[in-house]
Amino acid sequence: MLLTDRPTQRNWKPIIAQLTAVVGIKGIIQRREELMTYECDGLTSYRERPALVILPKTTAQVAAAVKICDENNIAWIARGSGTGLSGGALPVENCVLIVTSLMNQIVKVDLDNQRVVVQPGVINNWVTQAVSGGGFYYAPDPSSQVICSIGGNIAENSGGVHCLKYGVTTNHVLGLKLVIPSGEIIEVGGEIGEMPGYDLTGLFVGSEGTLGIATEITLKILKTPASICVLLADFASVEAAGSAVSGIISAGIIPAGIEMMDNFSINAVEDVVATQCYPRDAAAILLVEIDGSAIEVATNQVSIAEICRENGARSIEVATELAQRLRLWKGRKAAFAAMGKISPDYYVQDGVIPRTQLSYVLQEIAILGEKYGYFVANVFHAGDGNLHPLILYDNSVAGALEQVEALGGEILKLCVKVGGSISGEHGIGADKRCYMSEMFTETDLETMQWVRQVFNPKELANPGKIIPTPRTCGESAKSGHKFTAIEQY
């Protein structure tokens, strides 16, 4: 039986009784007002209230709950901290939401072999805190790292500032314990970097909960660099800043991260966070972090500063002490929150482009913003071309959401046109699935569907995400709130 064959009305009493027996009375949420908390993830434009929310604490509880859903043909969706920005954890009508926030134990720390084992509800930043005393850290660092969970990072293959040098989440996952949609428990990968057979670990990382739930994750940790330095360079034009990025990479230097912010973002951050280190009159700033041995960092610092000056940098600030570095990064880390302070709503996209196309694409984004009549702020990972255009709007204005969605779609199509991608780290979810056909052929998409069918034949695990079904800009993502759950009995 497929998802489309599921009954829209059901008697939830026996389901609640079975799930309560698994997770306990405190592990199940069914009151209407409490369920409102779980209507959406970080993409707040779309909302749907789940029928039930459960809060398991162990792999066995997750497996038992998924088995109950499988036997009763109930759609279920895994959710971590709810910070995702593509609607990956958006509920569907009459679903069970499996929230992993209570699965928050660091199971094992193995410094000798540079690995840790964690449950999915562990917060990203907790991993580094757990191992920093031994001189190690966990490299993937999304801007939401103080609240986003490792399970969500696994589902979306999250990145962060340091993805230029160290890669995204998949580059730091050694093994996974998984509950697949049948309710069975499997293990993929292991405790070493290379395992024989198919790379099922790589398959599951970034699958957005459509193939199963990770309940234990073995992560690779890195030795803390001997030296770290951050440079802040400001420019009179975005084109000059983009040229500096290309110059740094062309010189054979791979910084830990290169971030760019445009003038609108600079002033928004200074208005809210008041770092007093971002020049308000700059057209763009670059934040460049370099790490490694003391000699390597010192050499690269000189080279990067020279390249920035050659490309028109007006001033360069260098920070080596921890407090100084955190001050320079504070504004960038708070950029999204700053937009929320100055605008009732914002809509963020996540396209990727070749670095050589930065100037052209940013110019085109500005033209598109003028065409649609909306401000677009640009804060992004310049080193690997991962753009985060933030479209500012007021959702209370009739038709505004549809307009900004159309503008966001034009930006994604532009990214693909210049040889890029519709997502770098936020995932596809419910938001961008209708643009998958911009990148992939029907055969490509059908092949992806075959993979999903192997693990998820009933389409119960996070239905309607990633693959564009129907193959238009999905109405189900915009279905609105239709509560049909517990008051039925």
- DSSP state, 149? B
Averaged pLDDT for residues 435-452: 96
Query: What is the per-residue pLDDT across 113-128, written as a single tens digit (0 to 9) for each?
Result: 999 999 999 999 999 9
Count of Cβ atoms closer than 10 Å to residue 286 Cβ: 28
Query: What is the per-residue pLDDT across 320-346, written as a single tens digit (0 to 9) for each?
Result: 999 999 999 998 988 888 888 889 999
Dmax over CA atoms of the chain, in Å, equals: 72
Q: Which two tokens stand for residue 335?
A: 């950029």
Count of Cβ atoms closer than 10 Å to residue 251 Cβ: 13
CA–CA separation, 461 and 62 (whole Å): 13
Crossing angle of the two packed helices 335-342 and 263-272, in degrees rounded to 10? 80
Averaged pLDDT for residues 434-451: 95
In the predicted structure, residue 77 carries a pLDDT above the cut 70: yes
Sequence length of the chain is: 489
Which element (helix H / strand E) includes 124? Answer: helix 124-131
CB 458 within 8 A of CB 67: no
φ and ψ of 200, to 5 deg: -70, -25
Count of Cβ atoms closer than 10 Å to residue 200 Cβ: 18
- pLDDT, mean over the chain: 92
CB 42 within 8 A of CB 83: yes
In the predicted structure, residue 2 carries a pLDDT above the cut 90: no
* Full-model pTM: 0.92
CA–CA separation, 66 and 438 (whole Å): 34
109 to 131, 134, 286: CA distances (angstroms):
8, 10, 36
Count of Cβ atoms closer than 10 Å to residue 460 Cβ: 24
Averaged pLDDT for residues 399-426: 96
- Among candidates 196, 85, 148, 89, which has minimal Cα distance to 426? 85
